[in-house]
Amino acid sequence: MALPGGHTEELPQSLAVQLADSRAKLRFLKQELEDKGDQLLDYKQEVQTMEEQLKKLQKENRSLQGEVRGMRALRDELDCLRDRAGRAEQLQTELQSCTHRLRSLEVTRTQLKEQQQLCVVLQETRVLLEEQLADTRQRCSSLRELERDNLLLRQRLIDLEGEQDTERQRVDELLEMNMGLEAELRHVLRHNNNNTGTMTAARHFHQSEVESDEEAGLREELREDIDLKPLSVEVGEASSLRLLGAENENAELRRRLEDLQSEQEVRGQRQADLPEVREELACLEAEHQNTLREFQNVINENATLKKCLELLLTKHQSIEEECEKGEKEERGEKEERGEKEERGENEERGENEERGERGVQGSESSRGEGEGTARRGLDSERGVNIIRTQREAGVGAELLHPEAREVQLDDQVLKPKKREEEGEKEIEREREIKYVKNDKEEDLGKADINQEEIEDHNPATEEEKLPKTKYEEEKEKSVEKDVCVFPGLDVERLASELQQALEQADRQASVAQDLRSKLGEQSRKAWEAEQRLVLLEAEGQRLRKATESLAEAKRQIEVLQAVRLQMEEELCRLRSQAELQRMQASVIATLEGERATLERERETLRSSVDTLRSAHASVRHSATYTHSQCLNNTNNHTTT
552-592 confidence digits (pLDDT tens): 766 776 777 677 777 777 777 777 777 777 776 777 777 77
66-80, 419-433, 476-490: the lowest-pLDDT one: 476-490
70 exposed, middle or buried (CB, 10 Å; 0-12, 13-18, 19+)?
Answer: middle
DSSP sequence for 85-99: HHHHHHHHHHHHHHH
Answer whether residue 346 shows pLDDT above 50: yes
Average pLDDT in the chain: 67
50-64, 68-82, 397-411: the lowest-pLDDT one: 397-411
162 exposed, middle or buried (CB, 10 Å; 0-12, 13-18, 19+)?
Answer: exposed
Query: Which tens digit of pLDDT belongs to each residue from 322-338?
Result: 777 777 777 777 777 77
Please compute the mean of the pLDDT values over residues 505-511 and round it to a whole number: 70
Please compute the mean of the pLDDT values over residues 171-195 and round it to a whole number: 71
Answer whether residue 492 shows pLDDT above 50: yes
268 exposed, middle or buried (CB, 10 Å; 0-12, 13-18, 19+)?
Answer: exposed
Integer Cα distance of 190 and 194 in angstroms: 7
Positive or negative torsion for Cα 604, 609, 610, 615: positive
The whole-number pLDDT of residue 352 equals: 66
Please compute the mean of the pLDDT values over residues 425-441 and round it to a whole number: 58
**Residue with the larger pLDDT of the pair 441 and 577:** 577
Please compute the mean of the pLDDT values over residues 197-205 and round it to a whole number: 49
Answer whether residue 62 shows pLDDT above 80: yes
44-53, 124-133, 167-176, 451-460: the lowest-pLDDT one: 451-460
Answer whether residue 259 shows pLDDT above 60: yes
Integer Cα distance of 56 and 334 in angstroms: 27
In one-letter notation, the amino acid at residue 62 is: R
Please compute the mean of the pLDDT values over residues 165-178 and round it to a whole number: 76
Please compute the mean of the pLDDT values over residues 344-370 and round it to a whole number: 59
Are the CB atoms for 420 and 406 separated by under 8 Å? no
- The 8-class DSSP code of residue 401 comes to S
Answer whether residue 360 shows pLDDT above 60: no
**Among 519, 317, 501, residue whose Cα is nearest residue 417:** 519
Integer Cα distance of 208 and 180 in angstroms: 13
476: left (phi over 0), alpha (psi -120 to 50) or beta: alpha
The whole-number pLDDT of residue 616 equals: 64
Model pTM score: 0.20
Answer whether residue 394 shows pLDDT above 70: no
403: left (phi over 0), alpha (psi -120 to 50) or beta: beta
The whole-number pLDDT of residue 53 equals: 84
**Residue with the larger pLDDT of the pair 422 and 114:** 114
What are the φ/ψ torsions at residue 486 (nearest 5 degrees)? -115, 80
Reported residue count of the chain is 640
Please compute the mean of the pLDDT values over residues 111-139 and round it to a whole number: 80
Q: Which helix (H) or strand (E) holds 585?
A: helix 489-639
CA distances from 78 to 14, 83, 297 (A): 86, 8, 11
The whole-number pLDDT of residue 405 equals: 46
Integer Cα distance of 567 and 110 in angstroms: 12
CA distances from 485 to 479, 480, 481 (A): 10, 8, 6
**Among 480, 355, 358, 437, residue whose Cα is nearest residue 20:** 480
- Report the Cα 578 to chain-centroid distance in Å: 43
Integer Cα distance of 482 and 213 in angstroms: 199
Please compute the mean of the pLDDT values over residues 442-459 and round it to a whole number: 46
Integer Cα distance of 246 and 40 in angstroms: 127
- The 8-class DSSP code of residue 362 comes to T
- The 8-class DSSP code of residue 142 comes to H
- Report the Cα 607 to chain-centroid distance in Å: 82
Integer Cα distance of 366 and 362 in angstroms: 7
The whole-number pLDDT of residue 460 equals: 41
Are the CB atoms for 279 and 564 separated by under 8 Å? no
329-338, 488-497, 525-534, 608-617: the lowest-pLDDT one: 488-497
Are the CB atoms for 505 and 38 separated by under 8 Å? no
Are the CB atoms for 227 and 572 separated by under 8 Å? no
Query: Which tens digit of pLDDT belongs to each residue from 261-285?
Result: 777 677 666 666 666 656 766 676 6
155-164, 274-283, 379-388, 564-573: the lowest-pLDDT one: 379-388
Share above pLDDT 70 across residues of the chain, in percent, rounded to a whole number:
49
The whole-number pLDDT of residue 468 equals: 43
**Among 371, 447, 491, residue whose Cα is nearest residue 26:** 491
The angle at the Cα of 102, spanning 101 to 103, to the nearest 5 degrees, equals 90
Share above pLDDT 90 across residues of the chain, in percent, rounded to a whole number:
0
Answer whether residue 603 shows pLDDT above 60: yes
The whole-number pLDDT of residue 281 equals: 65
Are the CB atoms for 523 and 413 separated by under 8 Å? yes
The whole-number pLDDT of residue 77 equals: 81
Query: Which tens digit of pLDDT belongs to each residue from 280-337?
Result: 666 766 766 766 676 677 667 667 766 766 777 777 677 777 777 777 777 777 777 7
12-26, 239-253, 446-460: the lowest-pLDDT one: 446-460
- The 8-class DSSP code of residue 361 comes to T
The whole-number pLDDT of residue 453 equals: 45
Strands (E), 403-465: none
The whole-number pLDDT of residue 588 equals: 73
CA distances from 149 to 160, 233, 369 (A): 16, 13, 171
User: Alpha-carbon dihedral of residues 230, 236, 238, 242, nearest 10 degrees?
Assistant: 170
26-35, 96-105, 339-348: the lowest-pLDDT one: 339-348
Are the CB atoms for 392 and 418 separated by under 8 Å? yes
SS3 458: coil
127-136, 233-242, 352-361: the lowest-pLDDT one: 352-361
The whole-number pLDDT of residue 23 equals: 85
Which pLDDT band, with edges at 50, 70 and 90, does 479 fall under?
Answer: very low
The whole-number pLDDT of residue 183 equals: 77
Answer whether residue 620 shows pLDDT above 80: no
CA distances from 437 to 12, 467, 498 (A): 26, 28, 20
Answer whether residue 217 shows pLDDT above 70: no
Positive or negative torsion for Cα 196, 197, 203, 204: positive
